[in-house]
Amino acid sequence: MEIIRVACLLPLLALAACQGKTLPGTAAHNDEPKEWTFDFFTPKALPAVVTFAVVQDADGTVYRFNTLNSTPDLSKVIGEWNDKDRAPGGYWNHVKQPPRHIIFCWDSIIDKKVYETVLTIPKPVLEKMLRPGEHRDYRGRTAYYDRVQIGLAPEGKVAVWLQGIGFEPNYRVTPSVMKTVSEDKLDICKGITKSDFSYEYDKDIKDFIKGKKYPYGSW
């Protein structure tokens, strides 16, 4: 899939444009992060894997990710989301400015489905990411909200947070655009994965969902 085609799909999905502009009033600070990251996770024993992503950052630069960090399940996220737990970082998922528009493909192992999600981070949240936070980091230094956390749950449910600074809880984000589709409604994610989901669940998944009702929580 050509990067131009992917980039120009963004406006069709209610996004801004193939080339955006720097947000007004967001001049760089000397201590501003060199990059912003985005990480995916799932609830305990309800696995999914992100297989492809396209990100447009706040400066309008478009990034295409064929390789992404792992999508871990968080052992304390059971039955509902919380504002405390955080996905670990990794090598791949980073952009030079805060991520503004994200399109990603993900295989829900628990649902045995491929999903395609498009989301847009609201302008006030982007501005929050571009200025120093009110809290200090673990070492007492000025810090920024430089990590986006994205939770993936059964039924194709997606939730978004900014990771809190230090011991601060995560900041729940309501995207200005959020849409997830599957099956015959897939667009750029059609054919991305080769999985036919014919395998059985691992024992730990079977043990966890035994006696529970799908979707195994309130997401």
pLDDT in 10s for each residue of the chain, 219 residues: 334 445 455 554 444 444 444 455 444 555 789 999 999 999 999 999 999 999 999 999 999 999 999 999 999 999 999 999 999 999 999 999 999 999 999 999 999 999 999 999 999 999 999 999 888 777 767 889 999 999 999 999 999 999 999 889 999 999 999 999 999 999 999 988 877 888 899 999 999 999 999 999 999
How close are the terminal C-alpha atoms of the chain, in Å? 32
Looking at every residue in the chain, the average pLDDT score rounds to 88
Q: Is residue 141 part of a domain?
A: yes
**142 lies in a domain?**
yes
Q: Is residue 70 part of a domain?
A: yes
Domain membership of residue 44 (yes or no) is yes
**Is residue 215 domain-resident?**
no
How many distinct structural domains can be found in the chain?
Answer: 1
Structural domain includes residue 217 = no
pLDDT computed for residue 142 by the predictor = 84
The reported pLDDT for the residue numbered 29 is: 56
In this structure, the number of other CB atoms found within 10 A of the CB of residue 140 comes to: 8
Residue 80 structural domain: 3-20+30-208
Asked if the structure places residue 158 within a domain, the reply is yes
pLDDT at 30: 59
- Has residue 216 been placed in a domain? no
Report the half-sphere exposure of 51 (CA within 13 A, side-chain side): 18
Q: What is the pTM of this model?
A: 0.87
The pLDDT of residue 193 is 83
Compute CA distances 184 → 34, 83, 149, 151, 169, whole Å. 39, 34, 28, 24, 38
